Amino acid sequence: MSTVPGQAIFRDVPEPKRVGLGQKVWSSRFDYLYVAPALLVMLIVIGYPIYYTIELSFFNTPASLALSAKQFNGLDNYVTILTSPIFWKVTWQTVLWTVLSTFFAFMIGLGAALALHREFVGRGFLRALLLIPWVVSAVAASYVWKWLYHSDFGAISAMLSGVGLIDKPINFIDNTNTSLYALIVVNVWKEFSFAMIMLMAGLQTVPDTLLRAAQVDGASPWQRFWHVTFPHLSGVSMVTLLLLAVQNFNSFIIPWIMTGGGPAGSSDIWITHIYQLAFGRQRWGVASAYAVILFIVMMVLGYFYVRALTKGDEARAGA
């Protein structure tokens, strides 16, 4: 079909050929070379362990980890877990830990982001200081706070009695009633600046003209925040809350170093519990079954996480 000047080519054109999947894969075969090394590493160090964890969760493996001696025991490990009262106690503590840590880290981060949004002298420096807890290792944080909470020489007790709130030192972490909450404070200290930095970036996307228009319309600062700023932050907030929740759910270092899950399991959460089962008591099968349950929970959260992260990704055109 060739074009004669002045002649329209309009409708009546043959339907173009469809391209099969195999052909598409073949024509982009070089593209795969770029991702191959990364996928290979991830396959070895991620794919294989996931498979292996699932397998181990159906076996009874001797403490020595002599794999040749492992025995298939069906769903026994799962039954053991779900019928154990400790499971429910630990699960409840994990929920408390995750929800409270996430909530307070987010709210403090939001407050800090809003307070830092306005330009003022020393803002950059202040932001940097506030970010330090997030950069230092959780190991360092755990030791410092353990020392601050110390039952005999703790600075926090000393400060509280200095202002007359208490008369003798408090035992924060060797106390079944307070240990979990004491650890949550540490966790919030460590994490709020992550929420802060994400929300600060989110705030920059709020158009100034909208805020000014609202101001002209007579909206109070609170109304401006609620009707203009907050809706603009919803996307970032989603991602931030999810990331915080995932990270808190997966916490290990702070409880492990500060209390080891104690006293009497009062600050035990899933990960510390699994670690104790596996490497403390060599109950590999039960620990693996725990990990599989955890894995399933994370997959559900992960679905939302990936959706939030890749939103709008398809809109970008390829080279």
Ligand X SMILES: Nc1ncnc2c1ncn2[C@@H]1O[C@H](COP(=O)(O)OP(=O)(O)OP(=O)(O)O)[C@@H](O)[C@H]1O
Of 290-319, binders to ligand X (CB under 6 A) are: 317-318
Pick what 280 binds: ligand X, other proteins, none; C-beta below 5 to 8 Å, kind-dependent. Answer: none
Q: State the sign of the Cα–Cα–Cα–Cα dihedral 178, 183, 189, 191.
A: negative
Residue closer to ligand X (CB basis): 118 or 316: 316
Pick what 59 binds: ligand X, other proteins, none; C-beta below 5 to 8 Å, kind-dependent. Answer: none
Closest CA to 273 of 258, 251, 302: 251
Determine if 52 is a binding residue for other proteins (CB under 8 A).
yes
Residue closer to ligand X (CB basis): 85 or 318: 318
Q: State the sign of the Cα–Cα–Cα–Cα dihedral 181, 183, 184, 189.
A: positive
- Is the CB of residue 257 less than 8 Å from the CB of residue 139? yes
Determine if 7 is a binding residue for other proteins (CB under 8 A).
yes
- Closest distance to ligand X from the beta carbon of 309 (Å): 21
Give me the 245-284 binding string for other proteins, x by CB under 8 A, dash otherwise. -x--xx-xx---x-------------x--xx--xx----x
Stretch 68-97 residues interacting with other proteins (CB under 8 A): none
The DSSP symbol for 317 reads: P
Determine if 163 is a binding residue for ligand X (CB under 6 A).
no
Task: Report the chain's terminal Cα–Cα distance, integer Å.
Answer: 30
Helix, strand, coil shares, percent, the chain, to 5: 70, 0, 30
Kindly determine how many residues on this chain lie close enough to bind ligand X according to the rule CB under 6 A: 2
Residue closer to other proteins (CB basis): 165 or 306: 306
- Closest distance to other proteins from the beta carbon of 20 (Å): 10
Binder of other proteins out of 81, 105, 108, 206 (CB under 8 A): 108
Binder of other proteins out of 79, 107, 158, 213 (CB under 8 A): 158
For strands 71-72 and 59-60, give the pairing: antiparallel
Nearby residues of 246 by Cβ (< 8 Å), 6 or more positions away:
298, 301, 302, 305
Question: Token pair of 298, please?
Answer: 């994370």
Question: Token pair of 31, please?
Answer: 């593209």
> Interface residues with ligand X (CB under 6 A)?
317-318
